[in-house]
A and B are shown apart, each in its own frame.
Chain A
Amino acid sequence: MPPPLTASPALLAELRQTMERVSSKRRRREVLPFGIASVDVALPSGGLALGAVHEISESGVRGAQAAVAPLFAAGILARIGGPVLWCLHSRDLFAPALARVGLHPDRVIYCETWKDSQILPAMEDGLRHRGLAGVVGELVRLPLTPSRRLQLAAEDSGVVALVIRRSSQHLEETNAAFSRWRVSPSPSAANQPLELGRARWNVELLRCRGAEPHSWLLEACNAKGRLSVPADVRDGSRPAEEQERASA
């Protein structure tokens, strides 16, 4: 009888890195750190992988409206330089809100695709252009085959693809997206009981290649697209620079 397997953390990490090297065509995947230690440490290579497909959904009855997910996506893109292609599902996106989280209107090219069947090829075209910072698509469904196509296109060019799910159904379908996130609003804490403070989001990493699911309570993106850890929650996890910004 063989001895029971004992997984030492070091060995596991090494294995993960090997797998990462083997599975990815690129020599090393570039990542975009969130700048929050507790988030980055839970992600492979310490940040959001560029050149990959990330799925963002919203929980609750109004998941189909996806009112917070575009802000989460815009916050990510605000921190990458270059133009952005945004494939629309309906006419309800309000651009001034994206500008408020740091995504300047000059950077965004919108295309009225309306249907998944038009959004997917448009996204793929965008992902093949290396000059883009990222491609956003508001999809109702993301089945396996299209997601694989998007993932391959993203890996080739290194452009990040963010899929905002406009549906409260079929969210659990398996697909080839690199990671799956869920963002939902959470009550904000304000010093005075009736004052509207900075919004808070419950950010959940439901699934990610090479990482464990995790969730965080974070403050919404600021004007530079950065999320931050609320002052009254898990103080110790906040890096020094964040504290300086909050006090400034």
Chain B
Amino acid sequence: MVTLVQDGNRRLIATVDDAARRQNLRPGMTAAHAQSLIPDLVLIDATPDEDEAALTELALWCTRYSPLVTPDPPAGVFIDIAGSSHLFKGEAAVMSDLCARLEAARFSARVAVADTPGCAWAVARFGRQDIVPPGKMSDVLGPLPVAALRLPAHTVESLADVGIERIAQLASKPRASLQTRFGGDLLLRFDQALGTATEALVSLQPPEVPFVTFAFAEPIGDPADLQRIIVRLCRMLADALETRGIGARRLDLVFQRVDNIAQAVRIGTSRPTRDAKHLGKLLSERLVLVDPGFGIERATLTASWVEALSERQTIGRHVADDESDADLGMLVDTLRTRLGPGRVYRLAPVESDIPERAVERVAPVAPPKGLSWPDDLPRPARLLSPPELVNAIAQVPDAPPAFFVWRKNRHRVIKADGPERILGEWWVSDKDIGLQRDYYRVECADGERFWLFRDAPAHAGGRWWLHGLGEA
């Protein structure tokens, strides 16, 4: 399948799909030529306007990963994840998440992460490596064809005429002669890809999103100044949010530097809020990530994810509980911003007999379910994960151990209770088939309590494992 554009009175191929590419069809061929090669070719008129609109929409969707997103027509999107990859636990996680979501939405996409937009562009289209490690750009770019430098077709052709096909060849040529022969664009693209020339991307501003912006007469860079700016921006944004009756769930603070590079900071909140003080505090926590360079000339604060937030009385005699509730959301936000989103949570019971599986993490401010674990099963305060093999001796088979050695210490068992037999959940995992544990609670001579199990009956050669310590 190919799409066609009208060029004068010729119809040219604009894009080709994978099947057509395998048949050696290329953009720029005439339709008649292509049809003569493949008689049953499917021809569709290209709709560049719709393509561009769709690309913009895709780019808007990409703002979930970072506030700095630039559509790159005809078929690319730049996402600056420098300030936000920590929210997804690293660049690799951003990439796999992005790929998985695009695939689910039936986009075929190639993704690359690199230090410069030019390098990422090249690797995504011509390279093999997904994440280019910092400082390794020249190694990765070297073997790629010169077309990877975002050059016009005629420049690529004239380079090919003189035998330059790879970027590495380009690097060994004298710059002055390249400039006179192929124009300044070539060197600019080359430098941009390698990071010796900076490239400013104009990021997309999502419509209908509350934002406040501040331009400075003099570039600022002092952390204390940035701090003050954050406070003012937050106050302005809070007012803007209040008039619309919404609260922010995610804020993006973008500092535009004098050298036209944007530095972004992103924070998330666990529930919608427009408390300027709280938001300011969260943003300040991440201020260490901002490199002011030679100065910052503009700061923009955007509430990129908002939710309805109705007015609520928070001060008064009878609303104390409510207030503490709101406080908790702020505490959770502060800890999440500092430690990472996945590291603040509550635990909820799971119906499983296997102790390791009896607990699951839930969101820290999720509405309480009121569920707890069965209260008739004594459980240890510390669970060893994985259980530790111990040397134990039972006086009679299938009885609790008389003593055991754990971490080189010998424990004499005085009292014991059990067994509590736990069978594997074969419907969860194949490894569970045949899993059987006989748990014993034991008390040693000094009163310490342990939770041991034997992984098979004694006659079947069951071994003893220590799984937990302490008990109430």
Contacts and interface: CB of A to CB of B under 8 A. Distances in A.
Contacts, number: 174
Contacts of A99: 372-373, 375
Contacts of B348: 105-106
A97 B470 CA distance: 9
Interface string A196-240: 100110100000000000000000110100000000000000000
A187 B334 contact: no
A57 to B, nearest CB: 14
Nearest to A99: B372
A109 B416 contact: no
A196 B441 contact: yes
Contacts of A202: 447
A67 B382 contact: yes
B334 A125 contact: yes
Interface stretch (A42-50, A86-94, A172-180): A86-94
Contacts of A106: 346, 348, 368-370
A185 interface: yes
A110 B415 contact: no
Contacts of B355: 94, 96
Contact of B349 (A105, A126, A129): A105
Interface in B366-418: 368-373, 375, 377-385, 409, 414-417
Given A122-B335, A122-B339, A126-B331, A68 B347 contact: no
Contacts of B335: 111, 122, 125
A199 B449 contact: yes
B359 A95 contact: yes
A43 B372 CA distance: 33
A100 B472 contact: yes
A185 B379 contact: no
A108 B349 CA distance: 13
B339 A71 contact: no
A130 B324 contact: yes
A195 B470 CA distance: 17
Contacts of A60: 446, 448
Interface in A5-38: none
Interface of B: 323-325, 327-328, 330-332, 334-335, 338-339, 343-349, 355, 358-359, 364, 368-373, 375, 377-385, 409, 414-417, 441-443, 445-449, 468-472
Given A70-B470, A96-B377, A130-B324, 4 more contacts: A61-B409, A71-B470, A94-B359, A109-B331
